[in-house]
Amino acid sequence: MLYRVQYLPSFYEMLRNIEEYMVDHDRSDASIDRYRSTVFDTCEKFATFPNRGSRHDDVMPGLRTWNIEGETILAYVVEDAAFAVTFVGITYGGQNWMDIFSMRPLGRVQ
């Protein structure tokens, strides 16, 4: 069975911040669009294999992470009983994701 892939508002907010950072550092619109597509394409693949990645219960119960191209960390929680993968956030370029996610309460899915 496929899992439902969903995103918390915090994920979208963090992605917007990354895109703004890229604009401020002269990344082209096409480059930013490719980045966004890569992020969402990667997330959608979790519908098939949701429990991949590394568990980080020490940071937040149920938290898993997945690395994209060595510069982006996707943070998500798998809810097997609900057949859902919820992406809670994203970090880029060396941000301290462990500190960010240990302080971030989970919100509601939009």
Q: Residue 58: pLDDT above 90? A: no
Task: State how many domains the chain has.
Answer: 1
Assigned domain for 85 exists: yes
Domain that includes residue 42, residue range: 4-102
Question: What is the structure's pLDDT at 34?
Answer: 96
Assigned domain for 107 exists: no
Assigned domain for 110 exists: no
CATH code for the domain in which residue 51 is found: 3.30.2310.20
Give the CB-side neighbour count of residue 16, counting CA atoms within 13 A: 5
Residue holding tokens 């971030």?
Answer: 104
pLDDT tens, residue by residue, 3-38: 999 999 999 999 999 999 999 998 899 999 999 999
Assigned domain for 11 exists: yes
Assigned domain for 90 exists: yes
Helix (H) or strand (E) holding 22: helix 9-24
